[in-house]
Amino acid sequence: MTLRYGGWGHLLPWAAALAFYFFGSDLLSLGTNALIMVLFALSLDLVLGYAGIITMGHAAFFGFGAYVAGVFSIHFSNDPIAGLLLATAAAAVLGLITGALILHTRGVTLMMLTIAIGALVLEVANHLRAITGGDDGLQGIRIAPLLGLFRFDLWGHTAYLYTLAVLFVWFLLAWRIMRSPFGRSLDGIRQNVRRMRAIGTPVWWRLVAVYSLGAAMAGTAGALSAQTTRSVGLTALELLTSGTVLMVLILGGTRRLYGSFAGAVVYVVVQDLAAQADPFRWMFVIGALLMAVVLFLENGLMGLVDLGAARIRALSGSRREQR
């Protein structure tokens, strides 16, 4: 586990996110999308990066969380926190059940099963038109002021800070958990299942636990998406969404937690710029970028950060020697 930057390095992404709030106010909704994508990719990092569960069905949990939060706000209560917690718990349960069913398999079999479950959830949402709105998506989501104090304004100030705060809480949890004995056992399971069995690790249970944890986190991301955009569509559940979050994670770098930040921000920005330039062929730019990163950088964009950090350390080290 290599996350041993100087203490100040950890402040950088959060300081940048706060600075964006003050200086990027025209683009706050774009920023909110990026933060949601960070959280979504972070959830995949736990499952795929650390535990090595190859999944192409992670959108199921994102979309499920989004629908639960949306339906909850329409039919029950429009309190954002209650909706967020409920969506998180619901996604965790879905992760627990589906994970328990499929995690005795590995590799391509497992990947196929994750795709199958993703397809099932999508079809269920498509058929339950009365609840989900089917093809038309879920309309009419209303969200009450946060904590009864802060209205979700048209410019997205509240939405941005709300998303950032939720991301920060999940990030701290993920950071703590991935350095715990539990997190280290996941790292071990990814590297060598036989070794972990030989020291008595209940491998299946651990995998189900992290799958459910990642599902919960993805469900939170989906709920944030539903609440801040006030709509949910079937695209949230599509295979392409699972592929996108995987692309974002690989782009940023796995098993670093911060990789999700780098990947999501670059993805959202490039997508926005390229889509403005050419609405039909922006995927080409993303594809080329991903290829370049995968071919030339060892661990995504975080690999680039490593190179930069090493360079700075070498420079400051040599300066110190000269004195």
Q: Which residues bind another protein (CB under 8 A)?
A: 173, 176-177, 180-185, 187-188, 191-192, 194-203, 206, 209
* Closer by beta carbon to another protein, 134 or else 188: 188
* Closer by beta carbon to another protein, 185 or else 229: 185
Neighbours of 101 (CB within 10 A): 12
In the complex, what is the shortest distance from the CB of residue 199 to another protein, in angstroms, rounded to a whole number? 4
In the complex, what is the shortest distance from the CB of residue 49 to another protein, in angstroms, rounded to a whole number? 13
Cα angle 84, 126, 94 (rounded to 5 degrees) comes to: 45
* Closer by beta carbon to another protein, 3 or else 275: 3
CA–CA distance, 201 with 216 (Å, rounded to integer): 23
In the complex, what is the shortest distance from the CB of residue 7 to another protein, in angstroms, rounded to a whole number? 18
In the complex, what is the shortest distance from the CB of residue 111 to another protein, in angstroms, rounded to a whole number? 22
Instruction: Show the tokens assigned to 55.
Output: 């999944």
* Closer by beta carbon to another protein, 142 or else 195: 195
In the complex, what is the shortest distance from the CB of residue 202 to another protein, in angstroms, rounded to a whole number? 6
* Closer by beta carbon to another protein, 148 or else 181: 181
In the complex, what is the shortest distance from the CB of residue 1 to another protein, in angstroms, rounded to a whole number? 8
Main-chain phi, psi angles of 139, to 5 degrees: -115, 160
* Closer by beta carbon to another protein, 89 or else 203: 203
* Closer by beta carbon to another protein, 187 or else 306: 187
In the complex, what is the shortest distance from the CB of residue 256 to another protein, in angstroms, rounded to a whole number? 14
